[in-house]
Structure 1
């Protein structure tokens, strides 16, 4: 059998195997024990924190016939099939590549059918934030009225991109970044089970580099094992992660603080020549500076979250740098980091950074030497500056009293002129051919159906879209199309050019009335004229047909047609 990555082999198979998510696992287990199961869940959190694993464990536990204390047995046919990905009733979908309306409609249609082998049909939709607006609208109907045998588990790394209408219909669980100490314990357990040798310092470095993701940690560990021939050493971990040894970072900081630019530049040159990543180097320095600041404020907290940083060198460096200097250094590090993203020569930026950091250290030394002698001078200068500001303020108040009336008069003149500017927008052009094609087959019944669904349709839109469509209403409808009249022409034009709004309207109609009539927008003040011209055109066509001795519609036929389109209640028939 081919080699499998560590994160696949050691993927959690029970809730108790999930690391760092105790509250979530306890809640899900209790829901299974008490049979208080929701129809939809949202698992949100950073990558590699156990969202998909938790979804699969939940799918197994809810269908396992031998479930005990909310945990699956992992021995029955159902559990083994889900673990191997062979059970037809547990469907995993990647929303990044299946994000269209048709894919979600397909899910909606298939969800109606009962499961074939298990008690519940479970849909696990990964990276659900990648769905289009139309796809979310299609999913919404199923979440509103789900079949009893279906459970949806949505997983995402970006919950802020999911519509509020979806979030309000699911139970949300926020997965947290896993602590470095928990990641370290898990890696030690795996390596001990595999009987592989390792360096404690190397595992601590990998745990820190993973940034709270268990999958990332196991992937880095896999690389380190391959690089070191099944042995994890500190040097190998440094090579694989691209990190810089803490001793070198400490040495570099001491050099720039002491204004030893030459030595600091030689240290940078050595790092670059050894193939270290410049961006990673700056990240490591930032992390080191942050730890110094934290150590100065709450040393006990740093000891609890850091694994190997608190040695004598770190403590000596922390004492030699004051907080004000650290703030300035962090600002420079951030600035250079942003500039390096667009450069193909990062080593130049590192050298410039080194000179700037050293200049901060030099300024700090100078200021500390002269701080006592300058203190009284600075205090006196501050008082003089305050008195000068008071004098300027009094002068300004006196001049304002003289010129207030003049300023008000000038402002009024400017306002009157600005009000006279012609801001009339470009006139919206109606496509009469599309309107007339709707009117050719329009019926009062179709218009009534659309009006009945209009309020619900507006409620399905977001706040911005609802504000645009709030001043619009259907005025004619056929099985294939509809005419929507807007109170204001500029909103009519805006709606006509908003593709996301049109998509939301069509998906909403499909969900509510079961079909999607094409929408043609017209300004309300133009609608009576359009309707009148259409009737006159039909009458003119009738006259032409009579001249050519062709069968034509009688007056009663035209009246019936108008009544069919608009309803008898609005007709006013006049004899010629």
Structure 2
């Protein structure tokens, strides 16, 4: 008899044998028992979880001689033909190979003919998302109103690529990933049937690597069986497949925690010399620190951790804080993304392992701020007391001290200590208020030097009067007086700075008689006045 792979040999033939899909199984079985058979089904989900197997079981359940029944006999001609794949009324089509609209038109022509020997003519289209848009459009009307003897079963791993018009015409069933314990149990049954001894940690590793796909687990199981010599062990798997064992990672991390960085780097070099790829090393270190992080959060389920927790020593589990483990996971995730552009990926791995040595001393800014806040609270509550004397400071000889003879230094030391004197606190002098005088005008002009026009206005002060608690500044022109009034707040502030005066402030102006008489005797001015028929004022 020809060899049959485990995935084919263990393919379920009944709904009850379909593991990990209880919702799908119960719904379809109840629909068949109640006679609620739809004309189109859409099975979606990850690879290797039972979509195609469920389609074949449904085809047998509908066309069994004792059916439709949720428990096909498996012995009648229809059941055996469907199992062997040579039934004329159950047509399996690969959607990836038959993507054109012409292939769908052929189906449209075939559905006009009733089944030959069975109750239903069933079309199973695998990877239906690979059909072209034209093919989907050609299939729409046929799916919506097919003959009563036609049933379509679509299977896909990418339901988002199936047009909504197709999905709306089908009953949709989403298949889930299978949990680790269920896969491990199926692998144990397969090993028992083959009379092969398998260690629990080896089956756990195979189940973990399958990532929820039972077909992937059976395929990897067959590969491991081929070199196990009747006994599957994790050591054999690590050696033959070039993996980093958890014990080897424990050895590296223990050396780093003990400060033996040289031994840790040599252990990594030994892994690489034994044929373990750099990418695999990074993956295993990432998985290791992820598991430690989940353990720190209190998670104990092995299906989530991905490792058996008792294989990691307690001193390693307790050596890192949560944020340090997060930094370790991020370190290797970033490393895996960066090695594709690296000058030498091996150097990158060595650098990452070297940085792991300082991981126990890593503290984020958030943690430091929390510690400072806690220390502040403890000081305010009196939980921590400060020492009255400062710690002794190391003596450093300055250049000046080096030039002084030793004898002079000894004499200086022998001098009696000076008695400390309590000096009074420094008092800020308050400026004494006095009248603003004419002698203060240059200071005012200097303070207004950054504003040239105001500086000129200050220079035109003709007279200063201090009467009845009021300071009056008299200017030579009305323009200067008006300009000073516009900026009186600034004048008041500067006068207070100069003399301390903070009383009332007013402005005035005068024009001398000589200036007016000079204008009247000027011939040019008189000519202008005669032309415009005006007078000088």
Specify the TM-score bucket, using the shorter chain as the normaliser.
Answer: 0.5 to 0.7
Query: 2: CA distance between counterparts of 1:344 and 1:26?
Result: 55
Larger proportion of helix: 1
Q: Residue by residue, what CA displacement relative to the aligned partner does 1:522-567 show, whole Å, maximum 9, x if unpaired?
A: xxxxxxxxxxxxxxxxxxxxxxxxxxxxxxxxxxxxxxxxxxxxxx
Q: Which moved more, 1:160-169 or 1:314-323?
A: 314-323
Match of 1:170 in 2: 170
Flag the 1:367–1:194 CA change in 2: closer, same or farther, 3 A: same
Q: Which moved more, 1:289-298 or 1:359-368?
A: 359-368
Whether the 8 Å contact between 1:259 and 1:359 is mirrored in structure 2 is no
Q: Residue by residue, what CA displacement relative to the aligned partner does 1:91-130 show, whole Å, maximum 9, x if unpaired?
A: 1111112111111221222122211121111111111111
Query: 2: CA distance between counterparts of 1:373 and 1:247?
Result: 39
Flag the 1:312–1:87 CA change in 2: closer, same or farther, 3 A: closer
Whether the 8 Å contact between 2:323 and 2:364 is mirrored in structure 1 is no
Flag the 1:152–1:379 CA change in 2: closer, same or farther, 3 A: farther
After superposition, residues 311-330 of structure 1 pair within 5 angstroms as 311=310, 313-330=312-329
Q: Offset of 1:26 from its aligned partner? A: 1.2
Match of 2:354 in 1: 355
Whether the 8 Å contact between 1:7 and 1:218 is mirrored in structure 2 is yes
Asked whether 1:335 is paired with 2:326, we answer: no
Query: 2: CA distance between counterparts of 1:141 and 1:365?
Result: 62
Match of 1:6 in 2: 6
Greater radius of gyration (CA): 2
Match of 2:285 in 1: 285
Query: 2: CA distance between counterparts of 1:3 and 1:145?
Result: 44
After superposition, residues 163-562 of structure 1 pair within 5 angstroms as 163-239=163-239, 242-256=242-256, 260-300=260-300, 302-303=301-302, 305=304, 309-311=308-310, 313-341=312-340, 345-364=344-363
Query: 1: CA distance between counterparts of 2:168 and 2:343?
Result: 46
Whether the 8 Å contact between 1:220 and 1:241 is mirrored in structure 2 is no
Asked whether 1:130 is paired with 2:97, we answer: no
Q: Offset of 1:203 from its aligned partner? A: 1.1
Match of 1:75 in 2: 75
Whether the 8 Å contact between 2:62 and 2:68 is mirrored in structure 1 is no
Query: 2: CA distance between counterparts of 1:238 and 1:312?
Result: 15
Flag the 1:335–1:268 CA change in 2: closer, same or farther, 3 A: same
Q: Residue by residue, what CA displacement relative to the aligned partner does 1:10-35 show, whole Å, maximum 9, x if unpaired?
A: 11111111111111111111111111
Query: 1: CA distance between counterparts of 2:289 and 2:335?
Result: 15
Whether the 8 Å contact between 2:179 and 2:303 is mirrored in structure 1 is no
Query: 2: CA distance between counterparts of 1:150 and 1:194?
Result: 41
Flag the 1:346–1:37 CA change in 2: closer, same or farther, 3 A: farther
Q: Offset of 1:136 from its aligned partner? A: 1.6
Name the SS of the counterpart of 2:362 in structure 1: helix
User: Structure 2: where are the runs of 5+ without partners?
Assistant: 380-537
Query: 1: CA distance between counterparts of 2:351 and 2:330?
Result: 14
Q: Residue by residue, what CA displacement relative to the aligned partner does 1:121-154 show, whole Å, maximum 9, x if unpaired?
A: 1111111111121122122222122221111111
Query: 2: CA distance between counterparts of 1:354 and 1:377?
Result: 37
Asked whether 1:34 is paired with 2:34, we answer: yes
Name the SS of the counterpart of 2:190 in structure 1: helix
Aligned residues: 379
Match of 2:117 in 1: 117
Flag the 1:358–1:366 CA change in 2: closer, same or farther, 3 A: farther
Name the SS of the counterpart of 1:173 in structure 2: strand
Asked whether 1:107 is paired with 2:107, we answer: yes
Query: 1: CA distance between counterparts of 2:295 and 2:182?
Result: 22
Name the SS of the counterpart of 2:187 in structure 1: helix
Query: Cα RMSD between the aligned structures?
Result: 3.0
Query: 2: CA distance between counterparts of 1:117 and 1:342?
Result: 61
Flag the 1:368–1:358 CA change in 2: closer, same or farther, 3 A: farther
Q: Residue by residue, what CA displacement relative to the aligned partner does 1:346-389 show, whole Å, maximum 9, x if unpaired?
A: 43332232233334444349999999579658999xxxxxxxxx
Flag the 1:150–1:341 CA change in 2: closer, same or farther, 3 A: farther
Flag the 1:287–1:218 CA change in 2: closer, same or farther, 3 A: same
Whether the 8 Å contact between 1:205 and 1:237 is mirrored in structure 2 is no
User: Structure 1: where are the runs of 5+ without partners?
Assistant: 381-576
Q: Offset of 1:38 from its aligned partner? A: 1.0
Flag the 1:333–1:73 CA change in 2: closer, same or farther, 3 A: same
Query: 1: CA distance between counterparts of 2:128 and 2:345?
Result: 37
Query: 2: CA distance between counterparts of 1:343 and 1:116?
Result: 63
Whether the 8 Å contact between 1:105 and 1:138 is mirrored in structure 2 is yes
Whether the 8 Å contact between 1:258 and 1:362 is mirrored in structure 2 is no
Flag the 1:170–1:256 CA change in 2: closer, same or farther, 3 A: farther
Query: 2: CA distance between counterparts of 1:243 and 1:50?
Result: 29
Q: Offset of 1:262 from its aligned partner? A: 2.4
Q: Offset of 1:249 from its aligned partner? A: 2.4
Flag the 1:100–1:364 CA change in 2: closer, same or farther, 3 A: same
Whether the 8 Å contact between 1:206 and 1:237 is mirrored in structure 2 is no
Query: 1: CA distance between counterparts of 2:54 and 2:123?
Result: 13
Flag the 1:203–1:357 CA change in 2: closer, same or farther, 3 A: same
Whether the 8 Å contact between 1:181 and 1:307 is mirrored in structure 2 is no
Whether the 8 Å contact between 2:121 and 2:151 is mirrored in structure 1 is yes
Q: Residue by residue, what CA displacement relative to the aligned partner does 1:313-332 show, whole Å, maximum 9, x if unpaired?
A: 35432221111112222222
Query: 2: CA distance between counterparts of 1:379 and 1:331?
Result: 34
Whether the 8 Å contact between 2:278 and 2:345 is mirrored in structure 1 is yes
Q: Offset of 1:177 from its aligned partner? A: 0.9
Whether the 8 Å contact between 2:252 and 2:264 is mirrored in structure 1 is yes
Flag the 1:35–1:367 CA change in 2: closer, same or farther, 3 A: closer
Asked whether 1:148 is paired with 2:148, we answer: yes
Match of 1:48 in 2: 48
Query: 1: CA distance between counterparts of 2:12 and 2:334?
Result: 41
Flag the 1:241–1:130 CA change in 2: closer, same or farther, 3 A: farther
